[in-house]
Structure 1
Amino acid sequence: MLNRDPYADLPELPTFTLTSEDITDGQPLPTAQVTESLGGSDTSPQLSWSGAPEGTKSYVVTCFDPDAPTPSGYWHWCVSNIPADVTSLDTGAAAQPPQGATTHRTDGGSDAFEGAAPPPGHGAHRYIFCVTAVDTDHLDVEGASPAVVNFNLFFHGIGRAMLTGTHEETED
């Protein structure tokens, strides 16, 4: 595990509050948020946020594993253009995102949430759930990768809230 902070080189943004009925910051993810191939169900967690900065016109929700054995980490979920009046997502909302929202392909090629799936024996991975407040109601990112969506947030992000879960697969 590289143990780097993938947000360290981005502009510092005001923070707001992100909570979940399904995941606890700094704790192992429940089985539902693990990939099916490892006994989970690839279910996106419930998320609620509050205290976004004035001027928020939409949100982007992502889940990123910075510890994946690639130079660029691994995107497990990305939804942009979530309307500003939406301040929570139910468990499993990745399968039915809010009206007007744009889903983006994960690094595994899915438009849905991909659960935790670290290689066996690679150590604990962090899964960073991030909600970014955006200064425009629509980012022109249809068909874009999560990396391109986040590049746009470099210019349009005005606040950030995060929760981090972990998961580890041991070798048999």
Structure 2
Amino acid sequence: MSLLGRLLKNRRAGETHMAWNLPNLQGPDQLTLTSQEFGDGDPLSLKHCAKQIRGDDLSPELTWSALPPGTAQLLLVVEDIDVPMSKPAVHCVALIDPATGHLEPGALAARQPGPGVRILRSTIGRGYHGPAPVKGHGPHRYVFELFALAAPVADISGTTPVDRARPRAFLPTVSAPVLGRGRLTGVYER
């Protein structure tokens, strides 16, 4: 076990500051988000982890249940809620055309996103960034949160393009009503 991991063992961001808990992203929990690659609460495979720990940084396949009528856009947020910081680390933010239906493996890549996927900034950069928790810190939960929005996301205050905004500045400004939402949690530990 790494010394740093042991020292930070009890320090975790927690769920309080997740996108899921933002007042503007509240809505009925009626979407079911699944993956053929892992079940809710199951471990993520190394291929979905960051390259720095010898993973492939490949975003997992994701499928969701029928969307509520009137869904104009989907918002996907992936957060590590066990990072030893005051707020969860945002590993990916994407806007998805509801006609897409599902995401193939690798569809959240920054350079070549899948059809109907628009990649936004995350805490780490652009695109999907897989798990790379501090060695010895214990299990980290990576929460994939999907929101069905009644209108497309607009630029922040009409001035900052949504593509350039940091996630903690952007997420609280989403003003479209959430028609439905769902989440799926994968776990990884080093």
State the TM bucket, normalised to the shorter chain.
0.7 to 0.9
Q: Deviations over 1:109-131 (max 9, x none)?
A: 2x121110111111111100111
> CA–CA distance in 2 between the matches of 1:90 and 1:36?
19
Q: Does 1:46 align with 2:61?
A: yes
Pairing partner for 1:106 from 109, 112, 122: 122
Of stretches 137-146 and 45-54 in structure 1, the one that deviates more from structure 2 is: 137-146
**If you compute each CA radius of gyration, which structure gives the higher value, 1 or 2?**
2
> CA–CA distance in 2 between the matches of 1:45 and 1:167?
14
Pairing partner for 2:107 from 93, 106, 112: 93
**Residue equivalent to 2:43:** 28
Pairing partner for 1:158 from 163, 166, 179: 179
Deviation >6 Å, runs of 4+? none
Corresponding letter in the other structure for 2:97: P
Identical columns (%): 32
Root-mean-square deviation (Å): 2.0
Unaligned runs of 5+ in 2: 1-11, 156-161
Of stretches 53-62 and 97-106 in structure 1, the one that deviates more from structure 2 is: 97-106
Q: How many residues align?
A: 167
Q: Deviations over 1:144-165 (max 9, x none)?
A: 1222332133653222111000
Q: Does 1:64 align with 2:49?
A: no
Question: SS of the counterpart of 2:41?
Answer: coil
Question: SS of the counterpart of 2:108?
Answer: helix
User: In 2, are the aligned partners of 1:56 and 1:134 still within 8 Å (CA)?
Assistant: yes
> CA–CA distance in 1 between the matches of 2:13 and 2:104?
31
User: In 1, are the aligned partners of 2:28 and 2:181 still within 8 Å (CA)?
Assistant: yes
Pairing partner for 1:74 from 77, 80, 89: 89
> CA–CA distance in 2 between the matches of 1:103 and 1:125?
24
Q: Deviations over 1:21-64 (max 9, x none)?
A: 12211011111111111121111000011222222101011210
**Residue equivalent to 2:146:** 131
User: In 2, are the aligned partners of 1:83 and 1:137 still within 8 Å (CA)?
Assistant: no
